A and B are shown apart, each in its own frame.
Chain A
Amino acid sequence: MRFLVQQRSEKASDETLVVESNELLLGVNSGYPHLMPGLGFSLAIKCKKSGRLKVSGKGGVFTLRGKKFKSKTLRIGDELSAGFYTVSTLQGQSPDDVCLVITRNPILPACERSAMNFAQTGLSMRFWSYSLLVLLLVGTFLLPFLDTLGAAPYADASVRRIVPTESSWSAGPLHSAHVTAGIENDCKACHSQAFEVIPDSACLACHDQMNEHLALTPSNSPHFLDSSCASCHIEHMEPSNLVNRSSKLCVDCHGKLQDWAPEMPVASKFSALGHPEFRSSVWEYDAVSDGAAQWHLLKPEAGSMQAVHEQSNLKFPHDTHMDAKKMAADNNGMGLACVNCHEINPVDGGVLAISMETHCQTCHELTYDLDDPSLLLPHGPERRVIAEMESHFYRKSRDSNRFDAKERVRKEAEHQFSDAGCVTCHVVKAYPENPIESRWQVVPVRISQDWFPAASFNHTAHMSAPGISSDSSSCVACHSADKSHDSRDILMPEKETCLGCHNSERGSSADSCISCHVFHSKDGTPSLEARDSWRHFPGSSPHVVQ
């Protein structure tokens, strides 16, 4: 086998090299019969027994008919290129001869071989722009929109996990209460109509026990029903602001006196930082009227708490009861503690009502016959008291026949009503000319249960503060009962007592209006009846207090 190798370049052709061998090595190894300078690898051309030529690249690939090969059988007439060389095979004169013409092509300048312009290479800006456009349109609009339309595939939870849903349109997390209610992924629970503000009915569907701020009338209702639930209660806020605690919301109306609702008894003179003087509500006794009409709830204009007097018609000196010396004989040598009578309601931290039977009668036993101290007068109407004494003394007189029962009843009644019994605690009016059964009248008693009904106060919460306990010394810090000798004293604290701690300038807790006051008042018209249906037809609802 003979290889006839001729190298050609742009300028000249070299002499033909004759190699007698079955294998020809081409490349840069100095031991090779023919060098191809600049070729980054070696080519081995082997003549097989069949007479075919097999070429293989050692450490590189060559190109044949437009394809890259590591090894390939050549046909006579083939042209392969390796690096910047072209190797052409020609049939020699003798069948044993193989002619190889190696041409060195000019080396392309480095700057022309690959892209030098940023825009010419890789994916174009237009491609990225359109790709993102399509991605965004599909991901943020089309897929969530299909969900809002209730497309069938979205019913499958596994689809919802991977495909953008309507919740990707949610502007922020829901309040935990609404999450608990399970409406987190149910946008239509509130957004019932597209392109419409959330209707109050959406809120009231669940919050059906909600009341308005006050009892609505045809004249005041526009001031309240013009705002919807959602105008104050904003969802999707971070952090959640579903309950607007801003005092400014209250001060908008309760600041300076409003001229838009002269008929409404609006508490005014509030500011974001300031609270007017506390005004205590008291029951006023009207001796002339009868029954329930005898009591009127009064809320005198703001003034010092000392300027307003309780009219309970009960005699009760707090100082005496708390004084250990004066109570020595009656209470094992100790004064009474506040909580002995004023029990804290464990449910709401309020104070439970006082009753004669539970609280007073432990000491103030209604005995009337020293011979029989177990007998007690009923704590009830005067007539029953007289009747009790009459039945006791008439029976006793009949049995012993030693005294005049009628005289005994008169004397004991006299003693009870004007000397040391009922009169100890009650105001008793005497009518000496009347028969005995109507000779004395105990003036009715009504102890205020709440002097500040518009505010809520939790004693238990306050007792958890450091330094405050259920001990009387803690109570008198706010309620100066130890210095009060007159039951007409209202022992409620002045505003400074509260605002000394609950002060937004101090950054303390519970410093907004709704920390103590509620907006949706228990006395207000039920919202379910007032909102939506009635708003559009003012004055037509039978539920509105006229």
Chain B
Amino acid sequence: MTTHQSILAWKNYRYFGWFAVVVLSSSLIFVSQFYSSMPAWGGTWQGYTLGTIGALQIVWLTLLGVRKRRYRSRMGTVEGWTSAHVYLGASVVIVATLHCAAELASLNVHTMTFWLMLIVVLSGFAGLYAYLHIPESMSQNLGGRFLAHWVAELTEVDRKLAELASTSQTDWSSEILSALQGTAIGGSKRSQLFARDTSVLYSIDAGRLVSNKDQAAMISILSRRIPQARDDEIQSALLNKAFLLFGNRQFLLRRIRKDMQYKAILKAWLYLHIPFTVSLLVALSVHIFVIFYYW
């Protein structure tokens, strides 16, 4: 059994070697223009060569999407492809910059192709960062268990609290039920990504819905009620139980929300990476078409 290896270090940094070869040879091709009488730009033979390398790289890089869905393919491993994808993807920025000799001041279909490529690569870097760092934090957050375990535990806590609340016809039992009902988790993409907590409860004292972010309002209500119910043993025991359950609930909600956020981050960058890859392919095709149209 092999130990887990970072996709950057895959096969002893094999694709870092490829990256170095691509960057070095592209730089040499670019520098050779300095010995020519023509200025460096995309229209010299060096420019066309670098452009062809860059375009072929972009097409190959998009094929990762195809390869990773072909589970029965034996053309390398998905890990190997991903490692190559990262390194060759990074090299595209350098190849493309050299291709156009950094002539990017105006905005047209050609420079737009470059900027789209940059968005794709930078979002790829964000994804790489997420993939390198989040899985560890994620398993730490889940304490080595699956999310389903914690969700089940939360459901159990909620069930206990609902039962506890229905045994009493007091203000606080009404507030507990409203806190259970008002707990918000997940929802829109933004809520998941920023782990937004819009939980509310109906406060009897305030006579309206108040924020119950991080269950803080509910815990504060219970902590105020406990001393008041000193004389009533049953009430006091119920309140103490509710207090403990809400403490646990707070912890569970934090964990679940954090997990949801991690998963959202692991997906969010793809919402830039994939749609912009599609548009990059369109812009690249138009760029190549226009170059030959206005030969």
Among B108, B158, B276, point to the contact of A169 (Cβ < 8 A). B108
B294, A187: Cβ atoms closer than 8 Å = yes
Q: Is the CB of B53 closer than 8 A to any CB of chain A?
A: no
Q: B200-220, CB under 8 A of A: which get 1 and which 0?
A: 111010011100000000000
Q: Is the CB of B260 closer than 8 A to any CB of chain A?
A: yes
Q: List residues 242-287 of chain B with CB under 8 A from any CB of chain A.
A: 253, 256, 260, 263-264, 267-268, 270-271, 274-276, 278-279, 282-283, 286
Q: Which residues of B contact A304 (CB under 8 A)?
A: none
Q: B33-66, CB under 8 A of A: which get 1 and which 0?
A: 0011111011100000000000000000000000
Among A118, A132, A168, A249, point to the contact of B263 (Cβ < 8 A). A118
* Interface window among A27-35, A376-384, A441-449, A521-529: A27-35
Q: Is the CB of A218 closer than 8 A to any CB of chain B?
A: no
Q: Is the CB of A305 closer than 8 A to any CB of chain B?
A: no
Q: Is the CB of A110 closer than 8 A to any CB of chain B?
A: yes
| Nearest A-chain residue to B182, judged by Cβ | A40
B263, A117: Cβ atoms closer than 8 Å = yes
Q: Which residues of A contact B282 (CB under 8 A)?
A: 132-133, 136-137, 140-141
Q: Is the CB of A407 closer than 8 A to any CB of chain B?
A: no
Count of chain B residues near A, Cβ 8 A: 73
| Nearest A-chain residue to B200, judged by Cβ | A40
Q: Which residues of B contact A130 (CB under 8 A)?
A: 278
B268, A30: Cβ atoms closer than 8 Å = no
Q: Which residues of B contact A465 (CB under 8 A)?
A: none
* Interface window among B127-135, B138-146, B170-178: B170-178
The smallest beta-carbon distance between A22 and chain B, in angstroms, is 24
Q: List residues 53-99 of chain A with CB under 8 A from any CB of chain B.
A: 59, 83-84
A118, B294: Cβ atoms closer than 8 Å = no
Q: Is the CB of A546 closer than 8 A to any CB of chain B?
A: no
| Nearest B-chain residue to A59, judged by Cβ | B208
A122, B189: Cβ atoms closer than 8 Å = yes
Q: List residues 264-302 of chain A with CB under 8 A from any CB of chain B.
A: none
The residue among B35, B154, B178, B289 with the most chain A CB atoms within 10 A of its own CB is: B178
Q: Is the CB of A121 closer than 8 A to any CB of chain B?
A: yes
The smallest beta-carbon distance between B186 and chain A, in angstroms, is 4
Q: Is the CB of B71 closer than 8 A to any CB of chain A?
A: no
The smallest beta-carbon distance between B158 and chain A, in angstroms, is 6
Q: Which residues of A contact B180 (CB under 8 A)?
A: 38, 107, 110
The smallest beta-carbon distance between B279 and chain A, in angstroms, is 4
B36, A118: Cβ atoms closer than 8 Å = no
Among B37, B41, B110, B192, point to the contact of A252 (Cβ < 8 A). B37
Q: Which residues of B contact A234 (CB under 8 A)?
A: 38-39, 41, 43
* Interface window among B2-10, B21-29, B77-85, B161-169: B161-169
The smallest beta-carbon distance between B29 and chain A, in angstroms, is 18
Q: Which residues of B contact A106 (CB under 8 A)?
A: 162
Q: Is the CB of A537 closer than 8 A to any CB of chain B?
A: no
Q: List residues 1-46 of chain A with CB under 8 A from any CB of chain B.
A: 9, 28-30, 35-41
- A residues sitting closer than 8 Å to B (CB atoms) are 9, 28-30, 35-41, 59, 83-84, 104, 106-107, 109-111, 113-119, 121-122, 125, 128-133, 135-137, 140-141, 144, 148, 167-173, 187, 191, 194-197, 234, 237-238, 241, 244, 246, 248-249, 251-252
Residue contacts A-B, CB under 8 angstroms, 19 given:
A28-B178, A39-B202, A106-B162, A113-B185, A115-B188, A116-B185, A118-B263, A121-B186, A121-B192, A125-B271, A125-B274, A132-B278, A168-B108, A173-B106, A196-B295, A197-B295, A241-B39, A244-B39, A248-B37
- B residues sitting closer than 8 Å to A (CB atoms) are 35-39, 41-43, 103, 105-106, 108-110, 112, 151, 154-155, 158, 162, 165-166, 169, 171, 173-178, 180-189, 192-193, 200-202, 204, 207-209, 253, 256, 260, 263-264, 267-268, 270-271, 274-276, 278-279, 282-283, 286, 289-295
Q: Which 8 A-B pairs have the closest CB atoms?
A: A38-B177, A37-B174, A249-B37, A248-B37, A128-B275, A136-B282, A116-B186, A132-B279
